[in-house]
Amino acid sequence: MNAESASLMMTIPESKELEFRVVLGPKAQKVKPFRLPIGKGIAGWVAKTGKSILIPDAYKDPRFDPSFDKRSGYVTRSILCVPMIYKNKIIGVMNVLNRKDGKPFTENDMRLFTIFASQAALSVENARLLYAAIEKERLDKELQVASDIQKLIIPQKKPQIPGMEVAAKYIPCKEVSGDFYDIIKVNDKEFIFVVADVSGKGIPGAMVVSTMQASLHAYLEYSTDLISVIAKLNERIISRTTSDRYITFFIGLYNAQKATFTYINAGHNPPLRISKGGEVYSLKTGGVFIGFVKWDYEQETIQLEKNDILVLFTDGLVEAMDNREVEFDEKRLIQILKDNKSKSVSQIQEKIIRGVKDHIGEEILNDDFTLLVLKYKG
């Protein structure tokens, strides 16, 4: 263009500004750090209107903003500024200043520069699309790896538990989730059941789950005192996560010899106990969710009766919505349990899952979904 200076600015939609990406000329380094509000100055006017502009004498045009000249020490005489347009969207602006021969830019210069800007817009968008595709492929691979790792910390095989039938189901709504359950054999007579839900989904939630699972197994190697275990786990999560990451957590210790179930509920959806006669109890004793604040947790021990059913779940089950945004809710869950209490745990689990699917219809689950059904057979 036979010009002293040139620049290419890209629009920043979030801040409604233009940002210098390329600056060529004697004062380039002084100008490049600045941003320009869309609508202000010549380039801002072009970015706002989408119209090219040719100005023979900059200081005679009221749209010209001389502040850049003052900051850089440069003297602008003539300006040629054209928009970069891609599919009717203004993505940037190209500028040239001061023809080297001292003459103002011409209409032919503007036509040529407009062609350059059009080609530049196409190249920029093609580069963006290519980068986005590469980035998506990279993220997809990372998500798949994270998903594979998370699947490994979910029990692959349930242990044989004396006197207890168990059915478990884990349904993530994304590749990786914040839901977690575990069934841990302590010895031949004692077994730990855990259900948890981390605030937030995706990779951050999965990372917190991984930390929690590893810590939990380490603590249970030395003690099955639930109050001690959950206190240590709470401190661990507080020290290793940000304040917006917390975990609703339920842990229960089943003693096959004594037919007892000792539990702590740390801010989790209360599991349900359904007796042979159909009475329903909620397991609420415990405290606040873990990873938020130090807490003195309480535990409760219940005596199991033959054919008692325990149902542990995450909020994705009861909060599953239909197309009218009506939740499945706990009442529907309890009714299914009462209607099917004489069935096996696998049949009860299937009835619950079918009930949720029938309720949401064509809608998709918007949260992870974990379900454990236990039946004490005596």
Does 148 reside within a domain?
no
Does 211 reside within a domain?
yes
C-alpha distances out from residue 323 to 163, 327, 359, Å: 41, 10, 9
Average pLDDT of the chain is 89
Q: Which residue has better confidence, 244 or 128? A: 128
Residue 133 has pLDDT above 60, yes or no: yes
Give the pLDDT confidence score for residue 163 in this predicted structure.
Answer: 96
Residue 223 has pLDDT above 80, yes or no: yes
Phi-psi category of residue 15: left, alpha or beta, with phi > 0 → left and psi -120 to 50 → alpha = alpha
Does 41 reside within a domain?
yes
Give the pLDDT confidence score for residue 248 in this predicted structure.
Answer: 94
Q: Which residue has better confidence, 305 or 207? A: 305
The predicted-structure confidence for 30-56, as pLDDT tens digits, reads as follows: 777 778 899 999 999 999 999 999 999
* Beta-sheet pairing, 260-266 with 286-287: parallel
Confidence of residue 177 (pLDDT cuts 50, 70, 90): low
Task: Identify whether the C-beta of residue 229 lies closer than 8 Å to the C-beta of residue 220.
Answer: yes
Does 144 reside within a domain?
no
CATH number of the domain that 109 lies in?
3.30.450.40
* pTM reported for the whole predicted model: 0.66
Residues 6+ apart with CB under 8 A from 211: 236, 237, 240, 241
Looking at the structure, do residues 160 and 47 belong to the same domain, yes or no? no
Dist. CA 376–CA 338, nearest whole Å? 16
Looking at the structure, do residues 175 and 124 belong to the same domain, yes or no? no
Residues 6+ apart with CB under 8 A from 127: none
Does 250 reside within a domain?
yes
The predicted-structure confidence for 249-262, as pLDDT tens digits, reads as follows: 999 999 999 999 99
Looking at the structure, do residues 199 and 70 belong to the same domain, yes or no? no
The domain tally of the chain equals 2
Looking at the structure, do residues 164 and 105 belong to the same domain, yes or no? no
Looking at the structure, do residues 361 and 221 belong to the same domain, yes or no? yes
Task: Identify whether the C-beta of residue 8 lies closer than 8 Å to the C-beta of residue 1.
Answer: no
Residue 359 has pLDDT above 60, yes or no: yes
The predicted-structure confidence for 76-116, as pLDDT tens digits, reads as follows: 999 999 999 999 999 999 999 999 999 999 999 999 999 99
Task: Identify whether the C-beta of residue 288 lies closer than 8 Å to the C-beta of residue 266.
Answer: yes
Confidence of residue 350 (pLDDT cuts 50, 70, 90): very high
Does 336 reside within a domain?
yes
Looking at the structure, do residues 175 and 59 belong to the same domain, yes or no? no
Looking at the structure, do residues 110 and 250 belong to the same domain, yes or no? no
Domain span holding position 368:
154-376
Average pLDDT over residues 166-181: 79
93 CA to centre of own chain: 34
